[in-house]
Structures are given as C-alpha cells and as structure tokens.
Amino acid sequence: MITSTLRRVLLVAKHASFQSRCCVASSRVQYSTVYDSNEKTFDKILIANRGEIACRVMKTCKKMGIKTVAVHSDVDASAVHVKMADEAVCVGPAPTNKSYLNMDAIMDAIRKTGSQAVHPGYGFLSENKEFAKRLVSYPVMIKASAGGGGKGMRIAWNDDETREGFRLSSQEAASSFGDDRLLIEKFVDNPRHIEIQVLADKHGNALWLNERECSIQRRNQKVVEEAPSTFLDPETRRAMGEQAVQLAKAVHYSSAGTVEFLVDSNKNFYFLEMNTRLQVEHPITECITGLDLVQQMIRVAKGFPLLHKQEDIPINGWAIESRVYAEDPYKSFGLPSIGRLSQYQEPINLPKVRVDSGIQEGSDISIYYDPMISKLVTYGATRAEALQRMEAALDNYVIRGVTHNIPLLREIITHPRFISGDITTNFLPEEYPEGFKGHQLTSEGRRELVATAAALYVSAQLRSQRFLGNLRVSTTPQEQRQWELCVELEKGSHTVAVSRSGSTFTVEVDGVTVEVSGEWNLASALLPVTINRTPRVLQCLSRDAGGDITLQYLGTQFKVRVLSQLVSTLSAHMPEKVPEDTSSILRSPMPGSVVAVSVKPGDVVAEGQEICVIEAMKMQNSLIAAKAAKVKSVHCKAGETVGEGDLLVQLE
C-alpha cells in the first residue's frame, strides 16, 4: 500500500501496476514528471533489495529529496547501490536466505536507521505477505480504555515491549481509573497532536470551537498547548471541525467534548479518540473564543439550546497554556516531586495572565494524586505577544518547597524550533536526546549571571554592615565602594571587579564590563534587575554566609559561589568530596510506593533487567539494573513507601 502517513509501511500495493508505473528504468526514457522537493512525503526510505532496482529507486528518492538506506550482504559491501545510499547496513552473509531474505535483520536495520518506509523493489521480499504484515504491526500504542493524562499508556516496538507494556499499563489503569481494560492501536510516528473542541446541545445543534495544538508532550502527556495551531490552514481547520461535529451528532452527544486527531506533515488527519469531558487545556479555547465552557456545559445539561451559530465562533488572538507540575524535569522530562509549598506566589499581577490552580501556600503535594500545581495561561493579540507574556509569567512565578518543571517550560517556549512552529509529538526527545539539562549558558548569559551574583553578594555585605536605630559604634566607617571577588559557576572560576554607585553596580567579568541595577530587596522572593539595559527577573532561592548562592535565571537554577580573593585562595586547599559509585546501587529516583520487587539476595541480574517497580502519582516506573551483577542486598519490599534517593537494591 502507498500511504502518506508517517509510519513504517511497505510501498507495494498491487505490485504489478506499481512496477508498470514506477519501476521500469531506461536511460533513453524521457520523463515528464516534475519533482517538487518541497512536497513532503518521507524523510528516509530503506530499499530492501540490491542491483539495478535498488539504484533505480534511489535515483527517484534523491530527486524527491528523500534520504535512502541500503541493505547489503557482506559480499555486496562495495556494490553500486551501497555507494549511492546515504546509509548502508549489512544484513548478513552472501546466501540470500541469510541476507536479503533475512526479515529479522532487515527489520533491525529499519529500527536502527529510523527509516519511515520500505521499498522492496521486486523479487526477494517484495511480495512476501509475512514481511508486509511485520511492517504494519509495530509500533503499537497500548492505552487504558478509561484513561487520560498519559496514564496507562505505553509504546511497544516488539513482542517483549508489548508484554511489559500490557502488564504495567493494566496495573496503572486499575490503580488510576478502577478499570484495567486496554486498547491496542497503531502508533503513528512523529505526528502532530491537534484536537477540536466541540459543543453540542440536546436539540441537535453542535459547534466546533476551533483547535488546540497539543504536540509538546512527555510520556504521552501534554506539557504546553496553544490555540490556534500554527500549522492548520482555514480549509484543514474547517474539515477537521466539520468531521468532529459530525461525530458528536452521530452519537447524539450533548455537552462540551474534544475530538483528538493525529496530523501528519501533509495535513492529513487521523481520528484518535473523543474525550467526553472538559479537557485540562480548555482555558486557551475560552481565551480565543470568549466562551465560558463550564457555563455552556451547565446550560446544556439543563436543556437549554446553544446561543451561538458556527459563524459566531471567532479566533481572537492567541493563547498558550503551560502545565506547571511538581516534577523534576531533569529526570525523564519530569518525575514526581512531593513536599509542602513553603512559599507560593502566582504571577496574576501581570496583564493577560490566568492561573487555574487548586493549591495555596502551605498546601501539600503528595504521592497519591496528580502532581499538577496549576495551569498557567497567557493571552495576546499575536502569538509573539502571548509567548512574551508566558516568558514573563514563568520568571515571576514563585514556587518553593517542591521541585517544579518551570525550567523545562521556559526552555520550550523560547526554543527557536517551537517559536517557528516546527513541532511534533517527538519534540522533547529530538531536541534533548540525552535528557533535559536546563538552560545552557552562552558567554553573554554567563557574564550576566556572574555579574548579578556578585552584585547581590555585595548588596548583602553592605546590608549586614547597617544597623537600625542607634549606632552600635561611636564612629561611622568609610563605606566601601570597590570589591575584588572570585565567582565560581559550573566548574569555572571568574575574577570579578565590582564598583558601586547608588543602586547600580559596574562589574568587570573576565575583562568585559556589565552594568547591573535594581532595588536589591533581599527579603523579596523576586529579584527584578536591569542588566546592560535589559530588564530581567531573577529569583534568589538561597544564600548563606559562605558565599553559596542559588539563583533562578532564565527559568533554570544555578549554584554560584562568591568569595573574596583571600578566601578563594585558601579554599583551593580544601579536600573535595568523593562522588558515590552509582553503578552498584539502585536508588529511588522519586518518592512513591513499591509495587513489586523482582529480585532477592544472591540472584544474578543482567544489564537492563527489571529490579523493581515504583508507583508515584498513579504512574508505574520500572527500575532496571545498570550492569550485570549479583544482588548483594535488597532494602525494600512490595507495599512500602520510599522517598527520593532511598536505597532500594545493592549489587556486588
């Protein structure tokens, strides 16, 4: 079958007719075909053949701007089709049953190279039904039939992952929804996730309230949403909306609901599911339409007809929602964090900022429920305006007592690819393949942070020298106006010269002058400053008498040490703490409860083997061995509650 969906497919449909149209090659034939390199089909195709047909397919792929992968036997390593390809994979020795007919080896090559489609040419596996079946079977999505919010969902790429995914997803589903039934459906790789808000009454009327772009996800759970989508044109928006309304009418639905779609790069859209409830991200639809969806649901439930017609539904401006979670974004883009909100301040003083939350200062975040703190929504006349407001809102959001995901949220909304609108559901793993590491400082950003830390340190020193009320000394000392300091940041040391004039500090960092001014209210949770005429809002999370300061800068926490030149010289003689060897121990990456322990002392485990399963906030996480070894001791059992960092298992 020939298809434009972004999945691994076998490009053979009615093989004879396909050959007659595409596979006859001759240097004397003049084609009238126009090859449009801007026409998006596939990024990479694997050619499961050799010789002239492989070369023929590669020529067309190159004209279409598609990268090619060649498979070859060991004796074909220098063959022409191998040289023509962008990538090549050896699939076995010379005998065809061990190479070009070796389905396992070819499937492995597809996975390793990330090929999106396979062209079989003719002969070999081109008409093999089993090969075709294996190409449309995996990957699959396993998900809870009663689920939502990413709970009870797993992607499986093979039989082993399907078995494990079935076990974990069914347990999660039973724990979260009281229903362990699962759905298994085809997983479409690298799409956009776009949904249509519908509203229907009991009188046969139904409306579509435009779309929401929900492609920024981790573990199949949405992180940042916006309305409208940068990707849809009016025709596609209307087609999706009309089909969503047809679905609602077909099942006689009445209330607010959401029809979710996967959308490929050609704007082909595929029905995913309908959520017959109010979505988490409904506020952004309210912002651009002016409708209160909760009010509409109540009216419909009472039996009132809808007050609006489809032509009354506008797209006014742009709205963006960031889901603020009590999570550690440096662990798998967000593992749960628990604790008490010792300080909490929402940025609702800023214009066109909305915060939907159910907590306050002093509230507890526990392991038993969803870790969402709030939905932070900003609105503007344009997308750029909404993004600027989101950036300011995140900088002004004060959350203390739990680890939160603001560092990740801020990096997403300021990422050039996100700003351009070039996103898919694979955005996070593609942009952060080694995991999220926080904001990466440029040389200018490093100087800004070092200068601000130095100015803050000096402000604290000056404050400690002042006394309220009567003077405790008979003479007033000469106030210092210049300082020579050493600032340590990210294993780097900077010699800093600071001078002060009123509330403005001139700081020379590595020979470059940085001017920092502000009110320097050390009792405030927020630290608004102007750095080289650019306004910034930092947060001082902690500081001590030893010069250790933790600053939140551009969303990310940075640990800085500010020392006098004398103290810096002496500190070089202090011994360093030896880091713990983590290869032989397994610690809990999050607080939670132990669901299962799969090993006992004396067992020999292989690298990657499951050791135990930890459940936190209704999500189950399988923890594995980092190396092959014998189990020395087990420090947990099923049913126990563990904290972040607790020792679970020790290996020899």
pTM, rounded to two decimals: 0.71
Q: Which residue has the tokens 């290996």?
A: 651
pLDDT value for 161:
87
pLDDT value for 31:
43
Percent share of the chain, pLDDT over 90: 63
Instruction: Say how far apart CA 447 and CA 292 lie, in whole Å.
Output: 46
pLDDT value for 33:
55
Instruction: Say how far apart CA 553 and CA 449 lie, in whole Å.
Output: 7
Q: Which residue has the tokens 């609901």?
A: 257
Q: Which amino acid is at 562?
A: V
Tell me the CA distances in angstroms from 464 to 129, 461, 478, 504, one per residue in order. 80, 5, 15, 18
pLDDT value for 475:
52
* pLDDT at 425 exceeding the cut of 60: yes
Residue 496 in contact with residue 450, Cβ under 8 Å?
Answer: yes
Tell me the average pLDDT across 448-472: 83
Instruction: Say how far apart CA 447 and CA 219 lie, in whole Å.
Output: 36
Instruction: Say how far apart CA 140 and CA 158 lie, in whole Å.
Output: 9
pLDDT value for 133:
74
pLDDT value for 473:
53
Partners of 488 in the β-ladder: 493, 561
* 3-class secondary-structure state, position 286: helix
The DSSP-derived string for 90-148 is: EEESSSGGGTTT-HHHHHHHHHHHT-SEEE--SSTTTT-HHHHHHHHH-SEEEEETT--
158 phi and psi angles, rounded to 5 deg: -160, 180
pLDDT value for 318:
98
Tell me the average pLDDT across 196-223: 96
The band of 488, judged by pLDDT with boundaries at 50, 70 and 90, is: very high
pLDDT one-digit tens code per residue, 232-284: 999 999 999 999 999 999 999 999 999 999 998 888 888 888 999 999 999 99
Mean pLDDT score of the chain, rounded to an integer? 87
Nearest-5° Cα angle at 359, 355 to 360:
95
| Known active-site residue 277 | yes
* pLDDT at 412 exceeding the cut of 70: yes
Q: Which amino acid is at 192?
A: R
Tell me the average pLDDT across 12-35: 34
H or E element that contains 318: strand 318-325
Percent share of the chain, pLDDT over 70: 91
Q: Which residue has the tokens 């023929």?
A: 56
Tell me the average pLDDT across 296-300: 95
Instruction: Say how far apart CA 193 and CA 383 lie, in whole Å.
Output: 19
pLDDT value for 6:
28
457: exposed, middle or buried (Cβ count in 10 Å: 0-12, 13-18, 19+):
buried
H or E element that contains 498: strand 492-501
Residue 58 in contact with residue 81, Cβ under 8 Å?
Answer: yes
- Range in 13-22, 379-388, 410-419 the model is least confident about: 13-22
The DSSP-derived string for 605-652 is: E-TT-EEEEEEETTEEEEEE-SSSEEEEEE---TT-EE-TT-EEEEE-
CA–chain centroid gap for 437, Å, is 12
Catalytic residue selected from 181, 238, 277, 481: 277
